[in-house]
Structure 1
């Protein structure tokens, strides 16, 4: 037993890497624990996340601390084991996204076939439909942001103005050094700081809702996912109508053998004008955008394919408009970090 009370709360030390002390806040719904019992700690963390298995990488004594606070539909957690641990969790029954940001130390995160070494410069956001394995360094301290998958989906729908029919698939690693991710981190720091402020504006429902919206919108804009291009199109004011028409057509029928000439003719503009409109709006060509949509649809088909149905990589690639299978495999691996056959075999 630690010399401190096993369930007693204590101030969690702040970090020089912009850590925020959740333990000091008087915001309601806060939960704290500090213990040297790994089973007690696992149960506390599981009550906010999902059931999981955790074990020490090597024999040692843990000095674990955990805090959590809820703001509307978001939950903020701070987790420290004080020892090197390995964590394994199956996909939760009700999917949720959890973005994990080390304040110090590192964590090796494996989600499906993807792998990322998360550090203070690289957050991780695993696919909620996959199991996850993590190996946390002994000095690792993480802030985690949890949001239900259906809540984030509804938020995205409100931004793009149309139904989100497929799950949101983020890249596993989020580079926190980009301009957009730094801006998003600032919104997260604001939320964390406000959870410490007794009697602050965060206790007003309207302010809490606005800050929550800022954090979710910023995450969707700052971190790459399969709706990034569609979201970017909606966020640019005054987008030319021909570009929007082509975007809608591509997203509705990505399997069709479109040519740039056909898309330009249907939109009533020249090929050059359409290409310029796409580059100005999305930073890519119409055909590159089409290829991205097709890759995402092919990945969904590979993930959801029944191994006993006889589905093949070739059939799925052809269904989504990839006529050159070798090129499809190269582009797929570059985008998702694994081969199409590896996805299909899962």
Structure 2
């Protein structure tokens, strides 16, 4: 389908009026046509979230130039006729079924043939950058750049079927902005997957473990005395981030939390007759309290009595 009469903006119009519209909606350029032209131009256009879809014909030979598109990409599909693309002194003729990928910093020098008709898909650089962030791909400092410009339609059939669907959806009256944004994210992802580019697809960065899972690990491994390095490795964050997590959630350090949980476990055992604790020293050492006097002080500060007093009361 690739847009039809419902999206028509110009039909049998002045090419320079069409060019002015393109400058407003698709990217800045200059146009030159023969003075004795008898051309009638046409243009269909749809905005679909952050993507623009445009079917254009100038109706005569026209040279389109631009220093660069700056913040947008153009994917141009040759639908009918031919056009001539000049890049760094090399000329290449585009026939029906050829796709041209133009980067934001590529100079544009295209000559439309008499019967040339194109579909232009305009994608903002921000859309592709957001796709890289969502996929957790490594975005180069210069931004996304496609390393191969010319393609054949048959090489990108999956992508073009998606474009066909997008054009159909763009002309539908029953989809909202959220649906459109969903489709455009798929378009960006598919384009980056199918067209060679400078993105480094490294292994996804592991997601940080939820704080509750970190707490559960500590409770299950109290006797192993989990330290800050172990917790940072488990949480897949830096040690500094672990400290920040405990400060934000519990207003204490990881070491303080581990110590208090050990004291709670010791207190629970000393208070429970079914634990069969033989001595305070035994259970203190079992939980890694090597300095017994310091352990007793911490225990009394937390529970208001010495551990021996708790044990004695439990034994009555």
Shorter chain as denominator, the TM-score bin is 0.5 to 0.7
Contact 1:61 1:83 in 2 (8 A): yes
Q: Which of 162, 180, 205 is the equivalent residue of 2:177?
A: 205
SS at match of 1:82: coil
After TM superposition, give the deviation of residue 198 of structure 1 in Å.
Answer: 3.1
Contact 1:159 1:234 in 2 (8 A): no
Q: How does 1:138-157 map to 2 (within 5 A)?
A: 138-157=114-133
After TM superposition, give the deviation of residue 204 of structure 1 in Å.
Answer: 2.5
Q: Matched residue pairs, number?
A: 203
Contact 1:64 1:81 in 2 (8 A): yes
After TM superposition, give the deviation of residue 163 of structure 1 in Å.
Answer: 4.1
Q: How does 1:249-268 map to 2 (within 5 A)?
A: none
Q: Which of 152, 164, 181 is the equivalent residue of 1:189?
A: 164
- In structure 2, what is the equivalent of residue 42 of structure 1? 19
> 1:222 and 2:197 equivalent?
no
> 1:109 and 2:85 equivalent?
yes
SS at match of 1:125: strand
- In structure 1, what is the equivalent of residue 219 of structure 2? none
Distance 2:49 2:140 in 1: 22
Q: TM-score, normalised by structure 1?
A: 0.54
> 1:167 and 2:139 equivalent?
no
Taking a change above 3 Å as real, the CA distance of residues 161 and 54 of structure 1, as seen in their structure-2 partners, is closer
Contact 2:75 2:102 in 1 (8 A): yes
Gaps of 5+ in 1: 1-18, 26-30, 236-346
Contact 1:57 1:86 in 2 (8 A): no
SS at match of 2:192: helix
After TM superposition, give the deviation of residue 38 of structure 1 in Å.
Answer: 2.9
- In structure 1, what is the equivalent of residue 29 of structure 2? 52
- In structure 2, what is the equivalent of residue 132 of structure 1? 108
> 1:67 and 2:44 equivalent?
yes
Distance 1:113 1:148 in 2: 27
**Higher gyration radius (CA):** 2
Taking a change above 3 Å as real, the CA distance of residues 110 and 205 of structure 1, as seen in their structure-2 partners, is same
Gaps of 5+ in 2: 205-316
